[in-house]
Amino acid sequence: APMSELFSPLSLRDLEIPNRLAVSPMCQYSCDTDGLPTEWHRVHLGSRAVGGAGIVMTEATAVEPRGRITPHDLGIWSDEHAEALEPITQFIREQGGVPGIQLAHAGHKASKRRPWDGNVPIAPDETDPDGAEGWEVLSPSPDAYPPFDGDRPAMRKADYDDIQTVIDAYREAAERSLAAGFEIAEVHAAHGYLLHEFLSPATNRREDEYGGSFENRTRLVREVVEAVREVWPDDKPVFVRISGTDWLDDRESWDIDQSVRLARDFAQLGVDLVDVSSGGLHPDQRVPGGPNFQVPLAEAVREGSDVAAGAVGGVTEPAQADAVVRNGRADLVLVGRQFLRDPYFGLRAAGELEDDAAPHWPVQYR
Ligand code: FNR
């Protein structure tokens, strides 16, 4: 049977990823309020490992409690979290997949109700329908908070100590992720969350060394990446997810040229793959959408820098995913919603692409 490109291995440092199909990080909002994984996470992530994904990436996993989007997000701010995640990474590896963790801080988009509870901010003196309390959120520039989902009564402008706390939290989260058995650490710097808020001039109006010039706006993410790389072993890859553009062409914002320039800095810092998403920063964004809509952004990063690139967004068909890799547009394809609809998307893709080297149905299901 013909070899597909989608099911060819990808080597990054000493890690061999069995194929180029990854489960994109997707919040499940299914913890109690302690950030610990539940049976839901075990079954959700485990099913997709059985389903043939080369990488199973966790949802945005908070490096500190105030960095959660909702009170029900997954976290990795204590050793107890790492211990609870360990059986999940072990199961993913037993199925032939590579477990990855997305390390996240939601910045001024934190402390919200879950999507199915209305998605609106929870003030510190309020609770969500489950009785979970809100908290004060961290922002680079509270005065530049975009008008998302109503008022934000409690925003704290990140001072020097807050910034150090965030960097240290990322470093410790990476150490714990390693102890939990993850083989890829992905820094979440996309979608209008904390690190992206610092990157974009649309949300960063600081006048200290963390705002203003490109160098200053990118300082925090570079320091976070350095901290993670410091503790993440040399034989294992680090990914960063960015928004390739804010889709705000009518104002000063973050765009693909800056993304390419940042990817070159990331290469110097030992980042192995940039996972290129887009948007999420501002409600005025004009996102084109449709099949492959972010692939050109991944392609630009791949062409313009020495890092590998991951493409994500609107990929639903096996042949489509294969073509992205075959045509040299990206090194890895991350699939989100299609993997929610079909946990066995990888096995179906292997069948459709008629690739013998691709993952097989587990013996239990043959
Ligand atoms: C997401 N997405 C997302 N992205 C991310 O970087 N961290 C996250 O935790 C989440 N959470 C999340 C939850 C749910 C339910 C969805 C549907 C999406 C975005 C996701 O990873 C992906 O980039 C987009 O869904 C686009 O890819 P698809 O769905 O078109 O394949």
The two tokens of residue 313 are 């967004």
- 328-338 pLDDT, tens digit per residue, is 999 999 999 99
Question: In 3D, which of 91, 17, 30 has the Cα closest to residue 334?
Answer: 17
Look at residue 2 in the predicted model and tell me its pLDDT: 62
The distance in angstroms from the start CA to the end CA of the chain is: 19
Look at residue 113 in the predicted model and tell me its pLDDT: 96
277 CB near ligand 1 (under 6 Å): yes
The two tokens of residue 98 are 């590579």
Ligand 1: distance of its center to the CA of 363 in Å? Answer: 30
Ligand 1: distance of its center to the CA of 130 in Å? Answer: 24
- Give backbone dihedrals phi and psi of 42, rounded to 5 degrees, phi first: -60, -45
d(CA 122, CA 125) in angstroms, rounded, equals: 8
Ligand 1: distance of its center to the CA of 366 in Å? Answer: 31
d(CA 10, CA 310) in angstroms, rounded, equals: 12
* Strand partners of residue 208: none
- Beta strand 273-277 with 10-12: parallel, antiparallel or unpaired? unpaired
Which residue among 21, 23, 26 has the greatest number of ligand 1 atoms within 8 angstroms of its CB, and so is best to mutate?
26
Look at residue 1 in the predicted model and tell me its pLDDT: 52
- 78-132 pLDDT, tens digit per residue, is 999 999 999 999 999 999 999 999 999 999 999 999 999 999 999 999 999 999 9
Atom 14 of ligand 1, nearest CA residue = 26
337 CB near ligand 1 (under 6 Å): yes
Strand segments (E) across the chain: 10-12, 15-17, 21-23, 55-62, 98-104, 137-139, 155-157, 184-189, 238-243, 273-277, 308-312, 332-335
24 CB near ligand 1 (under 6 Å): yes
- Beta strand 332-335 with 137-139: parallel, antiparallel or unpaired? unpaired
Ligand 1: distance of its center to the CA of 208 in Å? Answer: 33
CA 312 distance to own-chain centroid: 11
| Predicted model pTM | 0.98
Q: Sort residue 131 into left (φ over 0), alpha (ψ -120 to 50) or beta.
A: left
- In this prediction, the residues of the chain whose per-residue pLDDT falls under 70 are 1-2
Look at residue 124 in the predicted model and tell me its pLDDT: 96
